[in-house]
Amino acid sequence: MTSNDTPHKGPGRIARRGILFVVSSPSGAGKTTLTRRLLKKDPEVEISVSYTTRPPRPGEVDGKDYSFVGESTFERMDKEGAFLESAKVFGHHYGTPRAPVLQAVEEGRDVLFDIDWQGAQQLAERARGDLVTVFILPPSRHALEERLRKRAQDSDEVVARRMAQADSEISHYAEYGYVIVNDDVDRAEAELHHILNAERLKRTRQTGLRNFVQQVIDGFGP
């Protein structure tokens, strides 16, 4: 099976429960690049569009990259229990809408989360059985800072703040089920896809397996 293949395609597909696929990393470690590649190559994965109070960055589209809302709207939604997880990062709020995510999992669709360790912890408390977590590490501290500066999206002050925050974020790597060192983006992408495909094949996740096996057994009858 290549990195572009996905299991259970075609008429013989076995029904399964979807996956909450969390990918986290310090800013600049390559998480966004890897998740965008995964979404492009695997049609069975959809991104969880978070709500946020931060302003859009250049090129970001409301409703596609994030749903951009004001502080008061976010606070109201949070109080109403609209978020499956929420966190405050660099002074801005982020939250995952509960209803569409849970519906996707019930329907056997995989939902990709580009969130930090705080969000991953909350998901672990509320949906551990559906959760698969991956932490992306940079090959070195120097490489991390270099990537941040090459993005040219943040000021020197913001880059310094993100580097200071990276130590805290990296310290949570042990809370994740899988860890990938992104020293080569093609290899890291392949490893990320291998993890997803392996998790899809877990017996406990394949809800239609019992019926499928029974059909196979019945096929051996007279």
CA atoms within 13 A on the CB side of 16: 22
**C-alpha R_g of the chain:** 19
**Predicted structure pTM score:** 0.81
Domain ranges of the chain: 20-210
CATH of domain 20-210: 3.40.50.300
Query: Does position 206 have pLDDT exceeding 50, yes or no?
Result: yes
DSSP-derived pairing of the beta strands 178-181 and 51-52: unpaired
pLDDT in tens, 150-199: 765 666 777 777 777 788 898 999 999 999 999 999 999 999 999 999 99
> Buried b vs exposed e over 120-133: b needs ≥16 C-beta within 10 Å?
bbbbbeebeebbbb
Distance CA 53, CA 25 (A): 21
C-beta separation of 84 from 96 below 8 A: yes
